[in-house]
Structure formats: structure tokens, C-alpha cells
Amino acid sequence: MAQNRTLFSVLLEQPWWVSTLAGAALFGIAQIAFPPVAPFVALPFLVIAIYVGYRQLRSVSPGQVEARLAALRDMSWEQFSAVIVAAYQRQGYTVEPAQKTAYDFTLTQQGRITLLQCRRWKVSQLGVGPLQDLARAVADAGAHNGICIAAGNVSPNARKFPAGKPISLLSGTELVALIGKANRKSKL
């Protein structure tokens, strides 16, 4: 079944200036047709432009993703794990180091336990093996889910593996978004 999309849902996915242009065009048309309502016609578009602009300002530009991933791969384990721990703590998780080989941290939020595996962040290509280990650990520990972090490439089999399992793969743009604009003073 096709998803119903509104003009506003489409504008939320566009750059901020698209909403601004649409609002200005509709304001101009309304100003000619019926001037008293022109500001009210343009107002929703202005609100969307401000919201989208704020969201884009807080995110990392696509051009910076590869540079940020390279900076992550250049970090030592201590630096990288500190960045990851800080990112999850900003999201409200309690982060505890794990004593298991299948995962590195235990994340807890609102009583839900998530196992986090990120030791293989530097590998040039992540295979399916670490994901299988994480899936077994999630089942054995009775955790809600598991997350595997990779700053390198991910093999096609590894991309397919999490389907239908309580694990997710975090790499590329998603990893950079998790890190956010933290550590402005460092290479990130």
C-alpha cells in the first residue's frame, strides 16, 4: 500500500531553503490575490524552514562524513571507546564496560539492556562473524537488543545478517550522526 505523503512531509526531507522558497512564492501569490491572508499562508512554510534549518545545522554535512570516519579509524581504542561512551551517555544511557568477548559495553536505559560491540571499528571490512557472536550474546544475556559499530566498510553478508534479529549495525552516516558535533576541539 502506498504511503500518503503530504506537502509538509516532503518539505521536511528537503533543505531549509526549499520551504523558504515555497513560502515566499505562496506569499507573493496570496499577496496579489487576497493580501490580508498572505502572512498566514506563508507562516507554515516559515516554521518548517526554521525547523529543518535547525536540524541541518545540528547534523554533520555529507561532505564531512568520510573525513570524520577516517578520524575515528585513526583513534586508539581508549579514545574511540571514550567518544562512543560519551555519545550514548548524552542519549541518556548508563554505560558499563563488559567482561565478555562478544561485546564491549552494556547500555541500560529505562530497564532495557543493549549490548554494544565496537572493538572492530578499525577493520577495513566487517564480516558477518562478529554479528553472529553479538546475536548469540544478546540471546544468552536476555538483552533487548545489540548494536555493532563499524567505521570501515561492511560486507554485503554482514549488511543482510541483522534482518529479523534483535541487532543493528551502526556505520557510515549513522555512526557520524551518533557521535554528532561533539569533540570540536579534536579531529572530530
CATH code of the domain covering residue 76: 3.40.1350.10
Evaluate whether residue 44 is within a structural domain.
Answer: yes
Task: Give the per-residue pLDDT at 185.
Answer: 42
Residue with cell 583513534: 75
CB 56 within 8 A of CB 15: yes
Assess whether 75 and 125 both reside in one domain.
Answer: yes
One domain, residues 95 and 157: yes
DSSP 3-state assignment of 113? strand
90 and 130 part of one domain: yes
Q: Tell me: do 38 and 77 sit in the same domain.
A: no
The reported pLDDT for the residue numbered 119 is: 78
Contact 16, 49 (CB under 8 A): yes
Domain that includes residue 86, residue range? 63-179
**Is 166 inside any structural domain?**
yes
Q: For residues 129-166, b (16+ Cβ closer than 10 Å) or e, as one string?
A: ebbebbbebbeebebbbbbbbbbbebeeebeebbeeee
pLDDT (0 to 100) of residue 13? 85
Are 30 and 94 part of one and the same domain? no
Averaged in consecutive runs of 10 residues, what is the pLDDT profile of the chain (188 residues)?
Answer: 75 90 94 93 94 83 81 90 92 91 92 90 86 93 92 89 92 85 49
Hunting for cell 521536511 — which residue is that?
12
Query: Does some domain include residue 19?
Result: yes
Predicted TM-score (pTM) above 0.75: no
